[in-house]
C-alpha cells in the first residue's frame, strides 16, 4: 500500500493502515520482527548502531508525521522482494555453513544498500 501512496501527507497513509486492524498489527509485527532478526544477526557493534539509527529515524519520522518526506516509497518493492528472499534463505536448510553465512552477509548488505540509497532521503 505504501509503495503506491503518492501523497506527501502521513496522516492519510497511517489512517488507511490503522483502519484495518489486521493490517495495522501486521505492519507493526513485521517491522519489529525484521528489526530484531537483522539486529540479532549482526555481530559488529558499528553495524548494529547503523540499524539502530535507521530504526530511530523511522520511529521519529512517524511520530513527527514526516515519514513520507524522509522515506521514498518507490524503493519499497525492491526492499520487500529482497526481504522475502532473505527470510526464505534464513528458513532454508543448508549444507555448508560458510556458504550460508556468506549468503546471509550478502543479503544484509543488499538490504542496507536499498534502505540507505533507495528509501532513505538522507541515508
Q: What is the pTM of this model?
A: 0.85
Chain centroid, CA 77 distance in Å: 11
Q: pLDDT tens digit string along 75-120?
A: 999 999 999 999 999 999 999 999 999 999 999 999 999 999 999 9
Q: Supply the pLDDT for residue 99.
A: 97
Residue 31 has pLDDT above 80, yes or no: yes
Q: Please give the C-alpha separations between residue 111 and each of 19, 64, 66, in angstroms, as whole numbers.
A: 29, 25, 22
CB 61 within 8 A of CB 13: no
% of the chain at pLDDT higher than 90: 83
At which residue does the C-alpha cell 555481530 appear?
A: 43
Q: pLDDT tens digit string along 49-63?
A: 999 999 999 999 999
The Cα 36–Cα 22 span in angstroms is 21
Amino acid at each position: 500500500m505504501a509503495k503506491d501512496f503518492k501523497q506527501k501527507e502521513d496522516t492519510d497513509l497511517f489512517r488507511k493502515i490503522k483502519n484495518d486492524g489486521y493490517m495495522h498489527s501486521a505492519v507493526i509485527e513485521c517491522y519489529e520482527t525484521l528489526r530484531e532478526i537483522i539486529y540479532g544477526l549482526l555481530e559488529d557493534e558499528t553495524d548494529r548502531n547503523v540499524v539502530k539509527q535507521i530504526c530511530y529515524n523511522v520511529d521519529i519520522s512517524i511520530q513527527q508525521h514526516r515519514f513520507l518526506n524522509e522515506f521514498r516509497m518507490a524503493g519499497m518493492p525492491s526492499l520487500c522482494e529482497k526481504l522475502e528472499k532473505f527470510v526464505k534463505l534464513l528458513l532454508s536448510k543448508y549444507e555448508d555453513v560458510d556458504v550460508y553465512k556468506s549468503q546471509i552477509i550478502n543479503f544484509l548488505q543488499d538490504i542496507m544498500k536499498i534502505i540507505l540509497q533507495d528509501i532513505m532521503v538522507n541515508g
